[in-house]
Structures are given as C-alpha cells and as structure tokens.
Amino acid sequence: MDLLAVVLVFFTTVAAVIALGSYWFARRERIRVRLAEVREIEKGVETEDVMRLPFMERVGKPMLNGLGKTLGNLAPGEIRSRVEKQIVYSGNPWKVTFNGLVAIQLISGATFFLLSLGMLRLMQLTGGRLILLVLFVTLLGFVLPVALLNSQAEKRKKSIQKQLPDMLDMLLVSVEAGLGFDMALQRVVAQMPGHLSDELNRALEDIRMGSTREEALRGVVRRTGVPELSSFISSVIQAEQLGSNIASTLRVQAASIRQSRRQRVEEIAMKAPVKMLFPLLFFIFPSLFVVILGPAAIRIFQMFQEML
C-alpha cells in the first residue's frame, strides 16, 4: 500500500507539472503569436505611410543619404571634425549631419553641372574653354553649400557677440536685485530673444533635466564658438567653484566684453579707409575726372580743330 501511495503521488505530481507547463507554454505561445500579429499590422501601416510619400522621399533621399554616407566616410578626420563644428556653430539650419551635407553638395554640384551644359549650348564654346567652364561651374556648385554654412556660422557668431554685452548688463542688474543666477538667466532669456537667448534657454533646460550648471554652460561654449562667451562662462564657473561673489564677476566681465567690443569697432573703423581705396580708384575718381576735366578736354579738342 505504501508503494502504491508513493507511485500515485509521483504520477500525480508529474501530471500536475506537465499540466502547468503546458498551460504556461501555451500562454506564452499565444502572446508570441499576438505580438507577431501586432508587428505585422504596424508594418503594414508603416508600409502604407511610406508608399504615400513622394518619390524623392521614398527613393531619392535614401539613395543620396547612402551615397553621402559612403563619401563622408572617405573624408579625412580633420575635415570632418571642422565641418561638424561649423554645422554646430551655425545652429544647424538645415538639420543635417556631415553625411547629409555631403549629399547636398552632390545635388548642388550635379545641378550646376547641368546648368553649365545649358550655358555651353547658348555660348557655343568648344575645346579647352568648354572643359574649364564645366569644371569651374561644377566646383562652384559643390563648394556653395559649405560656403553658405560658413557664412551662417559667422553671422550667428556676430549676432551672439553683439547681444552679449547687453545680456551681461541685464544679468548683472537682475543678480544685484536679489535674483539667483538661474532665475536671472531665465529673466534675460525672456526679455532678449535671439541666438544667445536660445542657447541659454537650452542650457536652462539641461539644468532642469538633471545636468550640472557647469556641464550646461560648457555645452553653450561648444555650440557657439564665441571667445568672449567662453571667457564669461569660464569666469562664472570659476566663481561658483571658489564661492566668489557672482555679481562682482559679472561686473568685471561686462566691462571687459564692452572694452573688447569697442576695440573691435575701432579695428573695423581703421580698416575702412583701406577698403574704400579700390572703389575710389576704380569708380569715384574716374567719374570725377569725367565731370571736371570733360568740358576742358572738349574745349581743347575744339581749339585744335579751329587751328587746323
């Protein structure tokens, strides 16, 4: 009887384990099948959405991105790093990466190549002039996106340099009025829209997301590349680490940056006469000579005719 009871308990336990295992694996299999069905539905919806896109979005853009990625990976690391910095300094107006910029260069170069062929048909050039014109126009189209990017980066830097002294003055007034540094930055961002305010607002967002003030402010330096702003942020970080008075630091930095701006304006003013020399020589002086000496030259010419 004891042996029979042991056997019954054993088989009952085995049957219970098998039943539970079957139920568990069947449940997992149902979940797996259901997830596969959901993925198929999402894939179908995604395919339908993709098919609704224009041809260039579905085919042209992926091909250009792939070609840009291939050529971008062949570029030297120094050039890639420099162009990526310029993309960041410009604020990335086109929302592209380095590979995307290479793709844009390819499109621009191909477009200018076709334009050069159209110009050749109108001008009817042949021989070496034809090849030189095609190469020049194609190279111009290839370089144009990078030139526009550099121009946008310089324009953004100059805008930040122009806003920085006024921003420091307002920041100093806010801090001396009793506001904390972060609250003063927030007030300045609200009162002074522009590229500098956008970067400071992004730094405040980073601080709210958990970054330290030092990390957020150094991120502003990396994204702008303005020496004056870098000096100001370094002074603020140093004052915070040493426990110095932030108002005194802001006052010194405001005076220093205003002095730098005054020196920069004086430098531009001193360069103005040199830059005006060529327009004077080639455009203004010839006009003055025509107006002043023209009547005298006509009178002298008439006198020689009467003598002859």
24: tokens are 């568990």
Tokens 């003063």 belong to 184
Residue 51: pLDDT over 70: no
Backbone angles phi, psi at 65, to 5 degrees: -65, -40
168 burial type by CB count under 10 A (0-12 exposed, 13-18 middle, 19+ buried):
buried
Neighbours of 125 (CB within 10 A): 15
Contacts 24+ apart (CB under 8 A), 211-214: 213/181, 213/182, 213/237, 213/240, 214/240
Q: Is 164 in contact with 229 (CB distance < 8 Å)?
A: yes
Neighbours of 221 (CB within 10 A): 19
251 vs 120: which has the higher pLDDT: 251
Q: Residues of the chain with pLDDT > 70: what percent?
A: 75
Give, for 116, the enclosing helix (H) or strand (E). Answer: helix 98-123
Please give the Cα distance from 57 to 65 (Å, whole number). 11
**200: nearest Cα among 165, 155, 160, 235:** 160
Residue 24: pLDDT over 60: no
Tokens 């384990």 belong to 17
Please give the Cα distance from 159 to 167 (Å, whole number). 12
252: tokens are 């010194």
**163: nearest Cα among 204, 207, 220:** 220
Please give the Cα distance from 107 to 94 (Å, whole number). 14
The average pLDDT across 38-52 equals 53
The whole-number pLDDT of residue 92 equals 82
3-state secondary structure of 243: coil
pLDDT grade for 46, boundaries at 50, 70 and 90 = very low
Q: Is 104 in contact with 145 (CB distance < 8 Å)?
A: yes
pLDDT grade for 4, boundaries at 50, 70 and 90 = very low
Q: How far apart are the first and last CA of the chain?
A: 158
54 burial type by CB count under 10 A (0-12 exposed, 13-18 middle, 19+ buried):
exposed
The whole-number pLDDT of residue 45 equals 41
The whole-number pLDDT of residue 251 equals 85
The whole-number pLDDT of residue 8 equals 47
Average pLDDT over the chain, rounded to an integer: 77
pLDDT grade for 120, boundaries at 50, 70 and 90 = confident
Residue 77: pLDDT over 60: yes
Please give the Cα distance from 95 to 231 (Å, whole number). 28
247: tokens are 């108002």
Q: Where are the domains of the chain?
A: 1-52, 58-157, 163-264
Report the largest interatomic distance among the alpha carbons of the chain, rounded to a whole angstrom: 158
**221: nearest Cα among 205, 209, 237, 208:** 237
The whole-number pLDDT of residue 58 equals 57
**Number of residues in the chain:** 308
Q: Is 254 in contact with 166 (CB distance < 8 Å)?
A: no
